Amino acid sequence: EDQVTQSPEALRLQEGESSSLNCSYTVSGLRGLFWYRQDPGKGPEFLFTLYSAGEEKEKERLKATLTKKESFLHITAPKPEDSATYLCAVLSRGNTGTASKLTFGTGTRLQVTL
Amino acid sequence: NAGVTQTPKFQVLKTGQSMTLQCAQDMNHEYMSWYRQDPGMGLRLIHYSVGAGITDQGEVPNGYNVSRSTTEDFPLRLLSAAPSQTSVYFCASMSNWGASGLFFGEGSRLTVL
Kindly report, residue by residue over A27-37, the tens digit of the pLDDT: 888 889 999 99
In chain A, the residue whose alpha carbon lies closest to the alpha carbon of B100 is: A49
Q: Which three-class secondary structure state does DSSP give residue B85? A: helix
Q: Give percent of chain A with pLDDT exceeding 90.
A: 80
Kindly report, residue by residue over A1-52, the tens digit of the pLDDT: 789 999 999 999 999 999 999 999 998 888 899 999 999 989 999 999 999 9
CB contact under 8 A, B104 and A45: yes
pLDDT score recorded for residue B96: 66
Please count the helices (runs of H) and the strands (runs of E) in chain B. Answer: 0, 11
Q: Which of B42, B56, B101 sits opposite A94 (nearest CB)?
A: B56
**Is it the case that residue B30 has pLDDT exceeding 80?**
yes
CB contact under 8 A, B58 and A101: yes
For chain A, say whether B5 makes contact (Cβ under 8 Å).
no
The set of residues, in sequence order, having a beta carbon less than 8 Å from that of B91 and lying 6+ positions away, is B4, B6, B21, B23, B25, B32, B33, B34, B35, B74, B76, B104, B105, B108
**Is it the case that residue B67 has pLDDT exceeding 70?**
yes
For chain A, say whether B40 makes contact (Cβ under 8 Å).
yes
Pair A114, A12: CB distance under 8 Å: no
